[in-house]
Amino acid sequence: MTETSKYSDIARAKINLTLHVGPVQDNGYHPLHSLVVFADIGDRLDGQMADDFGLKIKGPFAKHTPGGDENLILEAVKTVAKHNDIQARLAYTLTKKLPVASGIGGGSADAAAALRLLAQAEHISWSEHAEDFLPLGADVPVCFLSRTCVMEGMGEQILPWPGLGQIPAILVNPGVGVNTAEVFASFDNVGMSSDFTLPAGSLLHMAKAGRNDLQGVATRLQPVIETVVEAISRQENCQLARMSGSGATCFGLFSNQSQAEKAAKNIRRDYPDWWCISTLLGDAA
């Protein structure tokens, strides 16, 4: 390993096709059941050998992203390095392409990518110990895997589900942030509980069979989410429109890429202040 060693990874956007949430437990966490897929777009993270950990942020959403020790990247790598006697030090450069606080796992995906780069630098594998990353955030373990899966428990129970392929989609964010803690607090006030068994089938079939238990409460906090879902639903050949995670990003599923690209073009035309992009969700064969 030399001082010029460089590493690179993509922090793929995480999409909850379904999100079923149980009542808060004595430990303060909500049991989850979610069909999770990852987009073929994401933030780019580069790392280079350095004397100490560091982080630079650039890109279209850089100004909205916390820097320094407030960023989950540095918190994650410093915590893991301390407890695993890691010797390598990487200076990270994050190109932030995904909206912040948007329900697509941006911060967690960035932290997970940083841990993957650190593993490359140290020539070690943490894939079988991803649940150890749970204290960094419920989405970090699943973002570390970055594959289609079912996530349960507090986020530590991850069942990979290969062979489901990809589905064309659009992602739309209206430019508002949603505080996850506020969404869950509102969910608790509603007093809902959710029992759900995921049926086997295609990604579209499984997504249609489920729901997002947080969509209603998130919409009450940010009513524009309903406008986004309706705008997606109106697009020709849209198979399903739903919010991802705790919001505010929503997705639309389509039968082919040309339909998704046309829908994204329409939404960008009608709502120029929104972030909208066409993508493929799931794992390539």
pLDDT tens sequence for the chain (285 residues): 444 589 999 999 999 999 999 888 888 888 899 999 999 999 999 999 999 899 999 999 999 888 877 789 999 998 888 877 777 789 999 999 998 878 898 899 999 999 999 988 887 776 656 667 778 888 899 999 999 999 998 888 999 999 999 999 999 999 998 888 899 999 998 866 666 778 889 999 999 999 999 999 999 999 999 999 999 999 999 999 999 999 999 999 999 999 999 999 999 999 999 999 999 999 997
CA distance 39 to 166: 9
Q: How far apart are CA 281 and CA 116, in angstroms?
A: 21
Domain check: are 134 and 175 in the same one?
A: no
Do residues 128 and 197 both lie within one domain?
no
Q: Decide if 60 is inside a domain.
A: yes
* Dmax (CA) of the chain: 56
What residues make up the domain containing 147?
Answer: 6-160
| 52 part of a folded domain | yes
Number of domains the chain contains: 2
Q: Which residue in the block uniquely carries the two structure tokens 């989609």?
A: 169
> Which residues neighbour 201 within 8 Å (Cβ) at sequence distance 6 or greater?
209
* Partners of residue 253 on adjacent β-strands: 169, 240
**Whether residue 122 sits in one domain with residue 183:** no
E-strand spans in the chain? 6-16, 20-21, 32-49, 54-58, 90-95, 149-153, 157-160, 166-173, 240-243, 250-253, 275-282
- Residue 173 and residue 140 in one domain: no
Among 137, 160, 183, identify where a domain stops.
160
Active site residues per annotation: 14, 139
* Nearest CA-CA partner of 36 in 183, 172, 210: 210
Contact 106, 180 (CB under 8 A): no
3-state secondary structure of 148: coil
Are 222 and 125 part of one and the same domain? Answer: no
Same domain, 202 and 151: no
Flag whether 1 is in a domain. no
Answer whether residue 114 is part of any domain: yes
pTM of the full predicted structure? 0.93
Q: Where are the alpha helices (DSSP H) in the chain?
A: 72-84, 106-122, 140-145, 180-190, 203-209, 215-221, 224-233, 257-270
Angle CA(87)–CA(93)–CA(94) in degrees, nearest 5?
Answer: 120
**What span, in angstroms and rounded, lies between the C-alpha atoms of 181 and 131?**
21
CATH of the domain at 54: 3.30.230.10
If 0-12 CB within 10 Å is exposed, 13-18 middle and 19+ buried, where does residue 268 land? middle
